[in-house]
Amino acid sequence: MLKKENEKGIALFEEIGNQVGIGLKNIVNIFNPEQIIVGGRLAASKKWLIAPIKKQLDQTQLFQQQDLQVDFSSLSTHSAAMGVAAFAVEEFLQNNLHKA
């Protein structure tokens, strides 16, 4: 766990947050989502990433969404696998319930 005294580690997380924020800003400018969910290993670092990510998202965007929601998944490293599984089950049920 990162301690407050570890200035280099905190600076590194701030830089990571800035870079992730720039990437998310590009996604917002392309897709204009209402919500962004950060998952995987980045979600475990919410404490250090949220501020730089929000700072980047608050800067110039094509779509100025006042209600853009940035959330961090509580599923951590399992979020992608669970999302894919949920999508597959949903698609299977939708395709097979109409045939019955």
Q: Can you give the pTM of this predicted structure?
A: 0.72
Would you state the pLDDT for residue 6? 85
Q: Is the pLDDT of residue 67 over 90?
A: no
Residue % of the chain over a pLDDT of 90:
43
Would you state the pLDDT for residue 11? 92
Confidence band, pLDDT 50/70/90 cuts, at residue 1: low
Q: Which residues on adjacent β-strands are paired with residue 36?
A: 70
Tell me which of 3.30.420.40, 3.40.50.720, 3.90.1150.60, 2.60.40.10 is the CATH number of domain 7-97.
3.30.420.40
Q: 75-98 burial, b if ≥16 CB within 10 A, otherwise e?
A: eeeebeeeeeeeeeeeeeeeeeee
CA distance 19 to 67: 22
The chain-wide mean pLDDT, for the chain, equals 86
